[in-house]
Structure 1
Amino acid sequence: MFNIDYFILLGSLLLIIGVMTTKFSTRIGVPALVLFLVVGMVVGSDGLGIIYFDNARYAQLIGVLALIIILFEGGLQTKWKTVKPVLKPSLSLATTGVLITTSIVAVAAKLIFDISWFEAFLFGAIVGSTDAAAVFAVLKGQNIKARLGATLEAESGTNDPMAVFLTISFIQLLTSGEGNVLMFILSFFWQMGMGIVLGLAFGKLATFAINKINLDSSGLYPIFALAFALLTYSSAALLKSSGLLAVYVAALIIGNSDLTYRTSIFRFNEGFAWMMQILMFIILGLLVFPSQLFTFDVMVKGVLIAIVLIIIARPIAVYLSTIKMGFTNKEKIFLSWAGLRGAVPIVLATFPMIAGIKDSQMIFNVVFFVVLTSALLQGSTISILAEKLGLTGPKKVASTHTLELVSIGKANAEIIEYQVSKEDKINDKRIVDIRFPNSVLINAIIRSDELVTPKGNTRLLEGDILYILTSRTSKKKLKELIGEPYEES
């Protein structure tokens, strides 16, 4: 008999373990997602036997839902001014790069597994794309050069359509034995094109609705924004286009717009994305059986495929996809090494299982082992490689200080949090010498984690975190003054 209390207790313990794992992972230099997977395997039926889970459909459902939340949060945090210059290489990696990776891995799979070409290309398609959850998690807080980080994040946010398209196409060929090449190509362009269009439309709609609808509670705004993410995915998916791409594009629009309750929306989605990431990787860890995974046959095949993927396929894909795009040889080496695999390949590996493809369990086990190898080997050495290649920028400072007017929806004012950088117009100037608009006031300054009371002769220094009270009518002038681009809602 199903015990609800036992289930709640178990869920709470798993979340606590997951959160503590993130702290532990930073100390030993291992990506948290690897430890989440390990937690799932340990508490599963082949480990401590606490939870028995082998339902690929439920795992797929939870995985897709988690990816929606993670992509939405990643898109919200991505600055358009950083992504815009790298759109061309990112989209090239997300399409041509995935196709090249798939083809090279398929040849290796054919030789290593002795399977049909369709099955080999199916395997290649499953591991062909980088993973947004893994990339966002590993790069967060790292001081990788902005252009490289933006390229990797934009690639991982937009390469799912190609991987999903190829996976579904080869499953269809394996199950029905027939397929129209022209229809496959048209289907891909429909998925990409319609996904982008719907993402833009829902992003604009969500921004307008959040800013115009006056809700009674500030806590409703993050839920309202999240509802639009789910609506965007489901609408795109029902129209047979890429729901994940649509969500990422919509999040880019929302995150780069002038938004009511911006801080609340961002903080809520950051926490929720972490929770879904913990849940997803633990569930995927539960789905695999270590006794089947850590066999000599699976490990040998997994290591061989991982070597081909990491050392051969990804570098060739990067070098060919970024020809004449302004990347140095060192940057291409870094982009090659940072092509992390994560939840997406594992979730895609459940598709053949659900479709009843021959050898689907073997494919799933090897894919899982490849993901473990990629996350453990590449994920733990990304920052080290960036430093060795001289590709690190200024250290990122994540502010732990937040302040927001609760009555922003009713009052025509809000408080902006802004960190002074070396290049800013207001850097090293006294407040009295800065011509702020009349309805603008600096309320507080955080300097080296200490509160500084702003006065007329207070000099603003690099690294200062400012909390600036402004009316909405003066917000545009204020952002122009401090050098931050202003987006109309």
Structure 2
Amino acid sequence: MFAEITIDYFILLAALLLIIGVLTTKFSSRLGVPALILFILVGLIAGSDGLGFIPFDNVKTAQLIGILALIIILFEGGLSTKLATVRSVAVPSLSLATLGVIITTAVVAVAAKLILNVSWMEGFLFGAIVGSTDAAAVFAVLKGHNIREKIGATLEAESGSNDPMAMFLTISLIELLLVDNPSYLLLIGSFFWQMGIGGLLGYLFGKLATISINKINLDSSGLYPVFALAFALLTYCITAILGASGLLAVYIAALIIGNSELTYKQSIFKFNEGFAWMAQILMFTILGLLAFPSQLFTWEVMIKGFGLSFILILIARPIAVFLSTIKMGYSLNEKIFLSWAGLRGAVPIVLATFPMIAGLENSPLFFNVVFFVVITSALIQGSTISVFAEKLGLTGAKRVEPPYSLELVSIGKANAEIIEFEVNEETSITGMSLKDIMFPKDVLINAIIRSGNLITPQGDTKIIAGDILYILVSKKSKKQLNEMLNSSIQNHKGEMQQ
């Protein structure tokens, strides 16, 4: 009887946490506060040092949940990222993800040495822990904001690829602190192995997953998203077992999968979007449970945390951005915005659990100060990103999230499918009537969504920017249709004149 009550109590708490987590996302947008802050707040209130509903202090379990959640979040972020956009900002993003993290680590290390009164090696360890921007925080905050595409893509690509660098530095510095005679050459070799093999395995697993998803014929469409997610977990595990960067591999695999033709693509995307939200709720709540407010909100931690946050946000991050993007085509305003949008989130908190598990002397202090730095970053930077973008003139066309999803026919089940396409000013068919558009054979526009309203396509219906088209197309004509829709107006006019 007692065991059944305990299980039911646990399930009830899990249900309440998920409900509260979902509701906080609604309030967060109205309050202008990132949802992660509210998730953490729920954990702090419900934890051992709060109301005591969920006594929790297991660091290893929190670390496991955090890494699993990061895999899911990175996978969803990679799926929804356009590869063409990432390619255009690949060099600056990689520079920020590597050189930028190292510079941030070095600057913060000097401050940590002085403010926390620790050794130089411990100072560098603290700098490495907070050195990377957080994918979960960046993806969540940028969604729905009309930040200029180039800047948004740079931030997303950086945050998706700099976690491996921060994790490598953190683990390496812990080893240097614990080992009497460390091999520095071995660490350098380990870095190139982790990044190189991690990237290669991510690409190979992405290709394997794409082929497998399209070739397998499952009885239920609901199994395809699960199958895709299983490849994300497999990619991480195999890569990590081989001593390479599993997080980097997952992100690259997701980029490959998300930019390929997939069976039940919309179902896979929507499932992983929802699952990533659940992972965020769980991860930030668990990390909130792990923290103790009585230790976190002491004058010592708050003063030191504010000092390090100030240096990280206003000194270390701007120096890293300006040095990492020299002669890469970014304006002064764009560099200022990239500096301000370097959000810290779950990754630093998860990394702060590594010194605790290793048993380092100052690990409790590190965890509490890192936690405070993350809260400060999310509150100050996360809540002002859109305001900064507007002030600096870096807002683009408002992102339109299609309110409808249509996947009546999948490429794995028939010789045709219905695709969704959003028209913009540069689309080749913008301003043309349907009767004047020379579509490929076996192509039919079934519906047009305009300003939230359904428009029945007629011969004299004109296509305008912002329209969402639902097009029935045969497999053999899909490539030709995509080339036509994705070509610019200028190219299209040139072809017609010829």
Paired amino acid for 1:147: K
TM-score by length of 2: 0.96
1:266 aligns with 2:269: yes
- What's 1:320 paired with? 323
Residue 393 of structure 2 is matched in structure 1 by 390
User: Residue 115 of structure 2: which of 102, 108, 112 is its match?
Assistant: 112
Amino acid of the structure 2 residue aligned with 1:295: T
Alignment of 1:37-52 (within 5 A): 37-52=40-55
Whether 2:7 is the aligned partner of 1:4: answer yes
Counterpart of 1:307, as a letter, is: F
Kindly indicate whether residue 450 of structure 2 is the aligned counterpart of residue 444 of structure 1: no
Structure 1, residues 75-130: CA drift from partner, whole Å, max 9, x if none? 00000111111111111111111011101111111101111111111111100111
Question: Does the 8 A contact of 1:68 with 1:233 survive in 2?
Answer: yes
Task: Give the fraction of aligned pairs with identical amino acids, expressed as a percent.
Answer: 71
Residue aligning to 2:340: 337
Given that 1:118 and 1:174 are in contact with CA atoms closer than 8 Å, whether structure 2 keeps it comes out as yes
Aligned match for 1:419, one of 398, 417, 422 = 422
Give the superposition deviation at 1:436.
1.4
In the alignment, structure 1 residue 55 sits paired with structure 2 residue 58:
yes
Deviation at 1:407, TM superposition (A): 5.5
1:146 and 2:149 are equivalent in the alignment: yes
The amino acid across from 2:412 in the alignment is G
**Deviation larger for 335-344 or 206-215:** 206-215
In the alignment, which residue of structure 2 is the partner of 1:64?
67
Kindly provide the CA deviation profile for residues 294-348 of structure 1, in whole angstroms up to 9, marking residues without a partner as x.
0000000000010110011001011111111111111111000000000000000
Match status 1:36 vs 2:39:
yes
Residue 373 (structure 1) shift: 0.2
- Report what 1:292 is aligned to: 295
Q: How far, CA to CA, are the matches of 1:384 and 1:407 in structure 2?
A: 41
Once residues 464 and 332 of structure 2 are traced to their aligned partners in structure 1, the CA distance between those partners, rounded to angstroms, is: 37
Distance 1:381 1:159 in 2: 23
Stretch of structure 1 that moved more, 101-110 or 452-461: 452-461
SS in 2 for 1:54: coil
Residue 188 (str. 1) matches residue 194 (str. 2): no
1:217 and 2:248 are equivalent in the alignment:
no
| Distance across 2 between alignment mates of 1:178 and 1:393 | 53
Q: CA deviation at 1:408?
A: 4.2
Instruction: Tell me by how many angstroms 1:214 deviates.
Output: 1.3
Whether contact under 8 Å (2:428, 2:487) holds in the other structure is: no
Q: How many Å apart are 1:258 and its aligned residue?
A: 1.3
Distance 1:409 1:154 in 2: 30
Q: Which residue of 1 aligns with 2:413?
A: 410
2:468 counterpart of 1:473? no
Q: Which of the numbers 373, 376, 379 marks the counterpart of 2:379?
A: 376
Equivalent residue letter for 1:423 = E
What is the deviation of 1:200? Answer: 0.4
Matches of 1:410 and 1:276 in 2, distance apart? 31
Shift of 1:162: 1.3
SS in 2 for 1:97: helix
Corresponding residue number in structure 2 for 1:364:
367
Q: Does the 8 Å CA contact 2:99/2:320 hold for their aligned counterparts? A: yes
Q: 1:455 to 1:128 in 2, by over 3 A?
A: same
Structure 1 residue runs of 5 or longer lacking an equivalent are none
**Partner residue of 2:125 out of 122, 125, 128:** 122
Q: Is residue 76–residue 266 contact of structure 1 (8 Å, CA) maintained in 2?
A: yes
Whether the 8 Å CA contact 2:403–2:452 is kept in 1: the answer is: no
Equivalent residue number for residue 92 of structure 1:
95
Q: Find the aligned partners of 1:177 and 1:122 in 2 and give their Cα distance.
A: 17
Task: Tell me how far 1:410 sits from its aligned partner.
Answer: 2.1
2: CA distance, partners of 1:452 / 1:140: 27
Instruction: Give the match's secondary structure for 1:456.
Output: coil
In structure 1, C-alpha distance between the alignment counterparts of 2:36 and 2:116, rounded to whole Å? 28
1:25 equivalenced with 2:28 (yes/no) = yes
Structure 2 equivalent of residue 232 of structure 1: 235
8 Å contact kept, 1:44–1:52? yes
Aligned counterparts of 2:177 and 2:481: Cα–Cα separation in 1:
59
In structure 2, distance between residues paired with 1:60 and 1:452: 50
**Equivalent pair of 1:439/1:470 in contact (CA under 8 Å):** yes
Shift of 1:237: 0.4
Call closer, same or farther: CA 1:217–1:319 in 2, change over 3 Å. Answer: same
Instruction: Tell me the equivalent position of 2:246.
Output: 243
1:420 to partner: Cα distance: 1.1
SS, match of residue 89 in structure 1: helix
Q: CA deviation at 1:174?
A: 1.4
Measured in 2, the distance between the counterparts of 1:410 and 1:423 equals 33
SS at match of 1:416: strand
Conserved 8 A contact 2:71-2:250: yes
Q: Give 1:386's aligned amino acid.
A: A
Q: Deviations over 1:162-189 (max 9, x none)?
A: 1111111111111123311111111011
CA contact (8 A) 1:215 1:409 kept: no
Q: Secondary structure at the match of 2:382?
A: coil
Distance 1:335 1:211 in 2: 38
Is this contact kept in 2: 1:172–1:178, CA < 8 A?
A: no
- 395, 400, 404: which one pairs with 2:403? 400
The one of 205, 210, 228 aligned to 2:208? 205
What residue in structure 2 maps to residue 459 of structure 1?
A: 462
Distance 1:484 1:254 in 2: 23
CA contact (8 A) 2:409 2:416 kept: no
Tell me whether 1:156 sits opposite 2:164 in the alignment: no
The TM-score, its normalising length taken from structure 1, stands at 0.98
* Alpha-carbon shift at residue 406 of structure 1 (Å): 4.8
* AA in 2 matched with 1:283: I
Structure 2 distance, partners of 1:385, 1:402, is 33
Letter in 2 for 1:209: S
C-alpha spacing 1:8/1:484, structure 2 compared with 1 (3 Å): farther
Task: State the Cα RMSD in Å.
Answer: 1.1
Letter in structure 1 aligned against 2:437: I
CA shift for structure 1 position 484: 6.4
> How much has 1:451 moved relative to structure 2?
1.2
Give the drift of 1:412.
1.2
